[in-house]
Structure 1
């Protein structure tokens, strides 16, 4: 009975009007019974998808006699109007634009009704079908993103948010489906004017509005609650906020009062191209919260404390060759109370519990939801610095302090990368921390076939394939680049973005110039997570910004191939003891049953060595070498869990790493995997060897801050909300490395507690190991950045200069020997001294590289070379770089 009362008289699909005829008058309004209205309200699905002004895709009922769109400004369908739909077919262009809808049934809006499409979009819209006898056979809500993009395409050129001209601010917000939008500024409500072509509402105010708090008052149909709502909501294009993001602020980022001394004339370190980038990934709070020498612990300003232990260590890394500091999310975060007085702290003496106790994690978990800690992958406002990292979260102080941080890092020789998260929002619908969905409901979030919000990223996915969400990404990145002089961007879950969106970011940045914008946009680097999963996987909805798709673009993707081979197994193994190249597989086996027999271990280790060689080439698809089976293969022919190991077109397409904030830190992964009897000194050596596989590869490399200091999170595999106790970096070796701070939080780690508990009280490292590992890593950085052959510019150069002369069936398990130009690098992951004979080099004068020969690692100084035989000898658990002697 659902729509019978409303549409019985119009059961037949109307014929098209004759050519040249005037459209018929609009069909009469139609009444719905109370039962009908109640049934529709109960069904909040939106299975019909309005693609453009003319076309709706909906797999309704094929036998239906008529199909319509009903719309009502106030949501009351008892007085609804309708748009008639006629059967049609999707065009090839539409199938290309919406590949996931290619097999959908298409419906065309009757030409007589097309002049009312814009009107229909500003209220409730329902798709309906009737049988020939007038009985309702199908009804559903309607997804509107496609038609909004089609009708309001001009909005992509609009300037949104606060824009100052001659001192007067204009505030603009895109809200095409809103019935009314006004500005609440201070205690006043000010009407805003709607542009019918763009759907943008705007108002220009007096100079006195500057620095005042504001928000928008938006009257709009909200499908999630099935009614018209009036939302008071902050600006998606906010540039400043009051504490806890309760209001936006009308600020001009060009105001001199917001610029620290020397900001306009800031001289940046020499630009380092992406292919040569050596990156330290750093969480702002982790950096200083337990650094007793920091004047401003836990804040942006801690990175300006020049004489703190943390700052001095970063400077040492910069002098050795680190070129970028990558900051974990520092935009406005939804889950951290910004006032210190509102931030909970563990109410326990955490240090008093045993190293393997479950009491630390229990106490931390009780306050985790309201403490000052989170990684920050829960965006609230994309283009405002997070307030909890400021000394005062109220107003624009955070802007000044963020700029001071960038300036100070630049002065110390480090460029700054910002971790950006545009692929999801913390919430959607009418939730307290929802912003985008309160202004244009159902547009900014990616919707599944039934109209529900996709959550494959963890939270409410955004839809950067939609024009205005894609514009928000580009506009936000450009703002960070221009106004905060950020030198690079790392895109979280970049594979959930269209490739076209990330390329649009690149194009917009490339257009920035020193003369016009104060920054050279071409020097800004871009990289991200090119993982392929979720509702967009395998280019289901668009060509994704995934590993293989981004090859050749100059935008790098994280490469997990060598990471897994170096560590062993995968990050989600039930048994964390599965070993790899740098954790003793075959050559120093542990007791884990997951490793298999000795022969299985040997075969897997050699396959891992193939993966590492592909990684050392920069993950090049066309790099050829002899694999462990004795075959000549290309990188693209080496298997990685069913995917090609080599996918890059050029050095710089793939970013090498062996640990990052996700999953266990490298020290913790090795703690699980190395035999429990492994000495502290040998653990440190294996840490350096693992880091070397990334640092000495072609292309960029990233390391989690503190990894060179054997940083541990006490075996926590997902410390995003584990607080300072588990996450803080300990720059002073006398404070340890963080291992043995208790069992990690139960929520994400309890299944591994049986493996963790025996380790936490038995493994210990001290200053000799911590300082020795860091110094050895810095020596490798010096070699990496002083020898140009580690930064080859083209795939052809790599093919010419890079070789693995001892590869094949007779390769030594646990040893990789690499010839790179005039250098020879031997990675010896075994517990014994190893000799490697390269007959073709006999008679050539090689010696340990001068940096290592004069360096900090006494063990590696025991490496040797016999000129007559061409034999290189390298101590156990060591990486030795040999160069041709010149005198």
Structure 2
């Protein structure tokens, strides 16, 4: 027998004022839905019991099953297209009805309750309060007078709790009534004395998880300032000149001609300076460190001068996982950790056993529009200091010649329901999160998923992005798990940015670049609920997705392989087998190598779906969308700027660690350095924007940790003195690595696998030359897909001249409209074999080619041995050589 507790499920959907949808599969096959009595129950105080008989102390409304319902397949709820449609009688009190518990019952003709469920209301709220998307939420100022506004359409009442400057948070706040508007927003207007005040919203609302009406005291989801540990929001005026450092105000962002020009360095703010002894103690690990003349900033300057364009920062918005008070943060004893063996369990136990950690990557959003307090100096965490120091960082990076890209997380929150960090759900319960078939919050992202297909969730996303551009002058965004957003979400972001002008907003929003993770999984996979922002579905938008195609071909296997020793193009599949059974028999290895060669060639050509070349594997012409990759098409882009090419990132093992796992144990360190550069060269010399993980240029290791989000400063160590790459810091934390410890332990214990300072310096110098090569010619950065198809060829692929483990790319500027006034032709030879090769390239026969000046005068003595003799290229092992035909 059903009881009221069953109403904790929410299988019904109220999608429009007169339409409720009920899951068809919930009705037994022997029951005719038309024979049931359907009833809507609404109680502002809660307490609905489906079994209770008349009289009922709540509102009941008979529903009519629609025998010929309109199709929902093409609308905003396609996943409900096959469900039962119930019609709600026309009423003018719907807004009042939904300010409490809502349920639907289905009774048999004999009066017995067949089924009952709570109701999801998000789509109804979007229908009723469509005008709310135009509201200005949070703190706004008009001639020195602040107004605070919050969207809470189902609230019974909302009060502003205010602690003006000088009043202790221990004192009782001033309680200010807020006025409800027709769009579901509540507002209060104050005066100039509110500047700097601390505040909360007291929202009286029905909480489904409690089954009753509660008063939730909650921070502002549109906060622009916060107190220590984010307990209270702040009334700030971001136009206050005291919050504008000179370098931020006076330094323009460096120009970027086109998104394909981007070479991005992915970096965590704390990693950047935490170990940098040239940064003052009080500033290490903070935004302010970017304003210092330090080993770190000098390193970034060298990269920028060579051709790096941007720094992509892991989350800097306010997140919940880190103690913000430096006096309360705890850290393990580093000297004790150093004394442990390189393959010991002790280090990870000490790091994870530390209470009140100071470190996290930050993918646990709390407040999207406020800089994270733990990344500030101690005196800046409260008040407007967070704003000032984040702006100081942006201005300092601009002064180094670098654009600033922020890693944004709108696909999930840290908390939901009545959780302490649940800001959104405690204001509008049940609205902001995506729910499954029974009404539970979906967690395919490993956290409560945000339903940005709902209008006000999209608004929060769009408003937040515009906020960071307008008020912090950042230059781009990387979207975490972007495939959990709609394509329409991303187009709305793009449109809002494009409206920003230098005259009105101080920035040109059209110059802001957008890209993200276009993975397709979870409850939204396959466009189940909407057209997703996934790989291949963003054509013509200039919004890019990360390509796992070239990444996996270069590294080998995939990030979730049971055996991490499966090899790829740059990790030994060509001529340096490691003996792992994961690689298969030699014939299978060769077939995989040729398949990887096709994927790499396509990746070098922008991963265009309509790019045609001769397959190395089948020796027949093939289009990009015909190249296979794990059951899908490898080629998915319409233009080269729709792909971000990379071979390592904060996720999964660093490139050096992947090489350590995959190369033969006896491979000398010199070969490891060269393989690292070869892998980066494949990513860097292609037609798409490029991302490098910070430190990959100098062999950064995380001691084989493949998910170091909470592994502390110890495993995330970053040394810009190029002395210690971090390898051999102990076995990485068990949660994400224990299944690989059997492979890791002997490697970590081997001192021959740890590079010395000279290895790190050589690697960095070679990688600087890679940047110089890319920057030297527009031929490496063709924005027009037509030019890519015309000028980029792989002339030996699938031919009699092809050699295993070798990719030859020719960039011919004599075809079509010239783009380079220095070079008529570039020929790039990637030799992944550990031995030298002599590769004939027939189309270059008769053309006078010489080694590129960057390499001829560069840091790598080995590549200087490369030669071209009338189309016959001689290239050393594990080397990328670029040859030029001058005009």
| Aligned match of 1:859 | 862
| Aligned match of 2:779 | 789
1:132 positional shift:
1.6
1:324 positional shift:
0.4
| Aligned match of 1:829 | 832
| Aligned match of 2:63 | 85
Task: State how 1:362-377 maps to structure 2 within 5 Å.
Answer: 362-367=349-354, 370-377=356-363
Cα-to-partner distance string for 1:88-141 (whole Å, 9 max, x where unaligned): 154236642211000010001023xx2221111111111112222222211110
| Aligned match of 1:847 | 850
How far apart in 2 are the matches of 1:58 and 1:65? Answer: 13
Mapped pair 1:206 → 2:191: yes
1:482 positional shift:
0.2
Q: Which structure 2 segments of 5+ residues have no match?
A: 49-55, 164-172, 813-824
Task: State how 1:321-340 maps to structure 2 within 5 Å.
Answer: 321-340=307-326
| Aligned match of 2:822 | none
Match of 1:381 among 337, 346, 367: 367
| Aligned match of 1:100 | 79
| Aligned match of 2:540 | 552
| Aligned match of 1:18 | none
Mapped pair 1:216 → 2:194: no
Provide the TM-score with structure 2 as the length reference. Answer: 0.94
Secondary structure, aligned partner of 2:353: helix
Secondary structure, aligned partner of 1:447: coil
1:262 positional shift:
4.6
| Aligned match of 2:47 | 76
1:885 positional shift:
4.1
| Aligned match of 2:224 | 239
Mapped pair 1:663 → 2:634: no
Moved over 6 A (4+): none
Match of 1:356 among 331, 343, 352: 343
How far apart in 1 are the matches of 2:540 and 2:328? Answer: 48
Mapped pair 1:298 → 2:285: yes
Alignment check: 8 A CA contact 1:299 1:390 kept = yes
Mapped pair 1:193 → 2:179: yes
Mapped pair 1:747 → 2:735: yes
How far apart in 2 are the matches of 1:144 and 1:136? Answer: 23
Cα-to-partner distance string for 1:207-234 (whole Å, 9 max, x where unaligned): 1011100010001111122111110000
1:539 positional shift:
0.4
| Aligned match of 2:880 | 879
| Aligned match of 1:5 | none
How far apart in 1 are the matches of 2:489 and 2:70? Answer: 24
How far apart in 2 are the matches of 1:792 and 1:626? Answer: 21
Give the total of aligned pairs.
842
| Aligned match of 1:722 | 711
Q: Which structure 1 segments of 5+ residues have no match?
A: 3-38
Cα-to-partner distance string for 1:814-842 (whole Å, 9 max, x where unaligned): 11011012000000010110111112322
1:795 positional shift:
1.3
How far apart in 1 are the matches of 2:556 and 2:728? Answer: 23
1:714 positional shift:
0.3
Match of 2:480 among 470, 492, 517: 492
Match of 1:170 among 147, 159, 163: 147
Cα-to-partner distance string for 1:473-526 (whole Å, 9 max, x where unaligned): 000000000000010000000000000011100000011010000001011000
Cα-to-partner distance string for 1:450-476 (whole Å, 9 max, x where unaligned): 010000011000000000000000000
Secondary structure, aligned partner of 1:564: helix
How far apart in 1 are the matches of 2:873 and 2:439? Answer: 64
How far apart in 2 are the matches of 1:876 and 1:769? Answer: 17
How far apart in 2 are the matches of 1:90 and 1:456? Answer: 32
| Aligned match of 2:408 | 420
Alignment check: 8 A CA contact 2:332 2:350 kept = yes
Cα-to-partner distance string for 1:391-413 (whole Å, 9 max, x where unaligned): 13112101000000000000110
Alignment check: 8 A CA contact 1:556 1:652 kept = yes
How far apart in 2 are the matches of 1:259 and 1:849? Answer: 45
Alignment check: 8 A CA contact 1:288 1:728 kept = no
How far apart in 1 are the matches of 2:274 and 2:682? Answer: 31
How far apart in 2 are the matches of 1:469 and 1:885? Answer: 54
Of 617-626 and 810-819, more deviation after overlay is shown by 810-819
| Aligned match of 1:798 | 788
Mapped pair 1:396 → 2:384: yes
Match of 1:769 among 752, 759, 765: 759
Mapped pair 1:284 → 2:269: yes
| Aligned match of 1:506 | 494
Match of 1:269 among 244, 249, 254: 254
Mapped pair 1:694 → 2:672: no
1:447 positional shift:
0.8
Alignment check: 8 A CA contact 2:47 2:211 kept = no
Alignment check: 8 A CA contact 2:606 2:687 kept = yes
1:780 positional shift:
1.3
| Aligned match of 1:470 | 458
How far apart in 2 are the matches of 1:42 and 1:145? Answer: 20
How far apart in 1 are the matches of 2:520 and 2:271? Answer: 30
How far apart in 1 are the matches of 2:155 and 2:10? Answer: 19
Match of 2:726 among 697, 718, 738: 738
Secondary structure, aligned partner of 1:164: strand
Secondary structure, aligned partner of 1:354: coil
How far apart in 2 are the matches of 1:588 and 1:135? Answer: 72
Task: State how 1:597-608 maps to structure 2 within 5 Å.
Answer: 597-608=585-596
Match of 2:160 among 173, 178, 183: 183
1:371 positional shift:
1.0
Alignment check: 8 A CA contact 1:53 1:117 kept = yes
| Aligned match of 2:604 | 616
1:42 positional shift:
4.6
Alignment check: 8 A CA contact 2:38 2:105 kept = yes
How far apart in 1 are the matches of 2:6 and 2:436? Answer: 19
Alignment check: 8 A CA contact 2:248 2:396 kept = no
Alignment check: 8 A CA contact 2:453 2:485 kept = yes
1:634 positional shift:
0.6
How far apart in 2 are the matches of 1:213 and 1:586? Answer: 62
Task: State how 1:532-681 maps to structure 2 within 5 Å.
Answer: 532-628=520-616, 629-681=618-670
1:337 positional shift:
0.6
How far apart in 2 are the matches of 1:472 and 1:480? Answer: 12
How far apart in 2 are the matches of 1:839 and 1:136? Answer: 80
1:257 positional shift:
1.4
How far apart in 2 are the matches of 1:639 and 1:813? Answer: 19
Of 313-322 and 761-770, more deviation after overlay is shown by 761-770
Of 398-407 and 220-229, more deviation after overlay is shown by 220-229
Of 374-383 and 78-87, more deviation after overlay is shown by 78-87
How far apart in 2 are the matches of 1:733 and 1:156? Answer: 50
1:423 positional shift:
0.3
How far apart in 1 are the matches of 2:94 and 2:255? Answer: 54
Match of 1:57 among 21, 26, 34: 21
| Aligned match of 1:17 | none
Alignment check: 8 A CA contact 1:552 1:648 kept = no
1:303 positional shift:
1.1
Mapped pair 1:703 → 2:692: yes
Secondary structure, aligned partner of 1:216: strand
How far apart in 2 are the matches of 1:405 and 1:794? Answer: 34
Alignment check: 8 A CA contact 2:72 2:81 kept = no
1:733 positional shift:
2.2
How far apart in 1 are the matches of 2:564 and 2:47? Answer: 57
How far apart in 2 are the matches of 1:92 and 1:66? Answer: 23
